[in-house]
Amino acid sequence: MFALASLSAGDCDDPTCHILHNSAWGTGASLYVHENLHETTHNRLAELFGAAPTWIGPHLRRMELAHTAMPWNTAGQGYDQLPENALDSADRIDCPVLLLSGSDNKTFHDSNELCYDVLSSRHPGLDVRYVEIPGYGHVDPFIGRGAALDVFGHIIDFLDERSAAPSREGVHAGRVSEGSRSSR
């Protein structure tokens, strides 16, 4: 796995970066757009991401095959309270939901947009918005060098709109177009 990652690493010679950017721990995905990282963040990738959680792979595959979000563990510790199919039970969500993704998300591709579409069609009363950030990947909307300017404003706008709204019914849910901070 490490050898494959290093073959497509480009100019970066950091082994942690190779694993995260070129293969996302062997999944073939990329966790970020390399150019979006500040040098300090890039140098601390091993600290930020740590060891690869191997249990997540089979669970993600199980959800993919089921076409839904489902709990990993249903035995005790409150997990048995979780719905078997989270999308079918989304009407229980009693707070606004912001789904955010980079346009170059090579890890979960269009999953947040798909989630928005499913939630909007199955639960039209749910206050949900999807925002896609141009030029960002999976985690760089939060750790990227320009995230404070390019991304966080969408989050602040969403929170401001919700705090000013008199009720859930008075809030506009929708999809925000690329590069825009207004609903379409």
Q: Which two tokens stand for residue 66?
A: 């089921």
Q: What is the pLDDT of residue 98?
A: 97
pLDDT tens-place string over residues 26-70: 667 788 999 999 999 999 999 998 876 777 778 888 888 888 888
How many helices (H) and strands (E) the chain has is answered by 9, 3
Q: What residues have CB less than 8 Å from 167, skipping those under 6 apart? A: none
Spatial distance between the Cα atoms of 83 and 92, rounded to a whole number of angstroms? 10
Read off the pLDDT of each residue in 172-177 and give the average, rounded to a whole number: 60
Contact (Cβ atoms closer than 8 angstroms) between residue 41 and residue 145: yes
Contact (Cβ atoms closer than 8 angstroms) between residue 139 and residue 32: yes
pLDDT tens-place string over residues 76-108: 777 777 888 888 888 889 999 999 999 999 888
For the purposes of burial, counting CB atoms within 10 Å of the CB of 97, is it exposed (0-12), middle (13-18) or buried (19 or more)? middle
- 144-148, 159-163, 178-182: least confidently modelled range: 178-182
Check: pTM over 0.85? Answer yes or no. Answer: no
